[in-house]
Amino acid sequence: MRHLLSAADLSREDALRILDIAEDMADVSTREVRKLPTLRGTTVVNLFYEDSTRTRISFEAAAKRLSADVINFAAKGSSVSKGESLKDTAQTLAAMGADGIVIRHPSSGAPKVLADSGWVEAGIVNAGDGTHEHPTQALLDAFTMRRRIHGPASRGRDLDGLRVVVVGDILHSRVARSNAWLLRTLGAQVTVVAPPTLLPVDISRFGVDVHFDLDEALARVRPDVVMMLRIQQERMNEAFFPNAREYARSWGLSAARFRALPESTVVMHPGPMNRGLEISDEAADSPRSTVREQVANGVAVRMAVLYLTLAGDREDSL
Ligand code: CP
């Protein structure tokens, strides 16, 4: 696997291979052995043009647990503010020995440009590009769902028949897009619920069911998983999102809505959360919430992705 750019590119076999290797990595990180020598002598650069807590830190933890050297680059405070291009920045980092570049960028398609351009030899991993994709988030979400359903017998299993409802700001969500592709590849039934102004016009190409009324959708689907999405206020204006109170009332996972869910329904959120807007404290902090599990699983999944892009069969492109 040369690069990881998009969940849409992953076949069922590719995805299961990543998830199964992540199971092995999770086993390692919970045993006495905290570190593997696999990427010793390799340098991973975290090239972040947008803010991040979970993704950047978990890629750093993942690389260090595989014994790689890590360079963290934030566009803020760098020569990007003097107008340096992506090409020149990437080539500067490559000249310092970057073998892998984990990139987060506000422009959809920036990781693919970097991978296709030939500007650098490094393996490229998409850590979130604009509103396009966030493939490692979808992989860690699938890993978390698979563990909740199949427990210790997860290896080799997919998500066949799992009912997943994704709620909120689908329009701006790269997490929703990556999850729609990956969950369907793994056999899940995906329903999205959003106000009409927060749905992409091309939603039909994702092969998901669409609802506007959250209570109706929850009653009809009786989901195994409800995934709440962050309202991305930084990417929208009032035409999309006129009123926080109205949004919370109609599309938020309030305490009352959470209590009305089937007892077995799991609640997910990629973080960061807007508590009181898209999710209540009761739902977010419940034992049925996987929010912290998702973060912990992210390290194992990113170890698997770094292993496959930097130490695996790199001719085998995804
Ligand atoms: N879920 C996610 O991508 O979080 P960060 O923006 O904190 O990385």
Query: Which pTM does this prediction carry?
Result: 0.96
The residues pairing with 102 across neighbouring beta strands, listed in sequence order, are 46, 125
Ranges of residues in the chain with a pLDDT under 70 are: 29-32, 237-242, 313-318
User: Which residues fall in the annotated binding site for carbamoyl phosphate?
Assistant: 54-55, 104, 134, 137, 271-272
Which residue lies with its CA nearest to atom 3 of ligand 1?
55
Q: What share of the chain is helix, strand, coil (3-state, %, to 5)?
A: 45, 15, 40
pLDDT value of residue 271: 96
* pLDDT, tens digit, 9 for 90 and up, residues 119-135: 999 999 999 999 999 99
Query: Looking at this predicted complex, what is its ipTM?
Result: 0.98
CB-CB contact of 179 with 141 (8 Å): yes
Q: What separation in Å is there between the alpha carbon of 52 and the centre of ligand 1? A: 5
- 135-290 matches 7-133+295-310 in CATH topology: yes
DSSP string, 187-238: T-EEEEE--GGGS-TTGGGGT-EEES-HHHHHHHH--SEEEE----GGG--T
Closest by CA position to 227, among listed 299, 278, 274: 278
Is it true that the peptide bond before 272 is cis, omega within 30 degrees of 0? yes
Number of H helices, E strands in the chain: 11, 9
| Residues with C-beta less than 6 Å from any ligand 1 atom | 52-55, 128, 137, 270-272
**Residue 271 C-alpha to ligand 1 middle, in angstroms?**
6
Residue whose CA is closest, atom 6 of ligand 1?
52
pLDDT confidence of residue 31? 61
Domain ranges, ordered by start, for the chain: 7-133+295-310, 135-290
How far, in Å, is the centroid of ligand 1 from the Cα of 148?
A: 22
pLDDT of residue 318: 40
- How many A from CA of 115 to the centre of ligand 1? 22
Which one of 3.50.50.100, 3.40.50.1370, 3.40.50.20, 3.30.2270.10 gives the CATH number of domain 7-133+295-310?
3.40.50.1370
pLDDT, tens digit (0-9, with 9 covering 90-100), for 28-40: 766 667 789 999 9
For the domain covering 135-290, report its CATH number: 3.40.50.1370
Ligand 1 atom at shortest distance from the alpha carbon of 104: 8
- At 236 the pLDDT is 78
Atom of ligand 1 nearest to the CA of 128: 3
Please give the C-alpha separations between residue 304 and each of 94, 231, 298, in angstroms, as whole numbers. 22, 29, 10
- Output b/e per residue, 8-18; b: 16+ Cβ within 10 A: bbbeeebbbbb
Residue 94 CB coordination number (10 Å): 17
